[in-house]
Amino acid sequence: MLPAVTGFQDYGRRAIQAARHIGQGFAVTLDHPNRLPMTIQYPYEKLIPSERFRGRIHFEFDKCIACEVCVRVCPINLPVIDWKLVKNIRKKQLKSYSIDFGVCIFCGNCVEYCPTNRLSMTEEYELSTHDRHELNYDQMALGRLPLSVSRDSAIQTVSNLSYLSGGVVEGHPSRRNVTYGTNGSSIRYKY
């Protein structure tokens, strides 16, 4: 009869532990209606990327020494470099440089290992087009500096989302009110 009692005690302990875990799950679920929405109205509002954000690559054509380190460290051998050897000064002269952002994985190896620091990552992330051939950037397009998100006057920037100590996320500052749909199930947020 002793094994039956210990088995019953073990079953009781596991049942209490399971109820505790279910209660913790319900607490998380019931906490969400108390939070403010975190919706960003994308075309009109944009998040400011972090300092080390890996966006489109910027290239300085005039200062490149055509060493091809960026091609060697790229996991997919992506940058296409065309150069010619100038015999009288015994140096390479860069003729063209291009990167296809439709294939690029934005790992940042080319930027990190460039010995002359002529490559840099920008905060530009809107590279979508209707034709994938438009994603092949030559040295002219790579040399163009993008408009910073924080300096664009046409959009409202939202700084990084701040987290409170209790794990509750602050809502959008311009939130006005919440209205429920006619059937009571859908929610619309008015700003």
CA 39 to chain centre: 16
Tell me what pLDDT residue 104 has.
94
Distance separating alpha carbons of residues 191 and 185, to the nearest angstrom = 20
Per-residue pLDDT of the chain (191 residues; tens, 9 = 90+): 577 778 888 999 999 999 999 999 999 889 888 887 778 888 788 888 888 899 999 999 988 999 999 999 999 999 999 999 998 988 899 999 999 999 999 999 999 999 999 999 998 888 889 999 999 999 899 988 887 766 776 677 666 554 333 444 444 444 434 433 444 443 444 44
Token pair 């990552």 is found at: 121
Distance separating alpha carbons of residues 27 and 25, to the nearest angstrom = 5
Tell me what pLDDT residue 48 has.
81
How many CB atoms are closer than 10 A to CB 149? 19
Entry pTM: 0.61
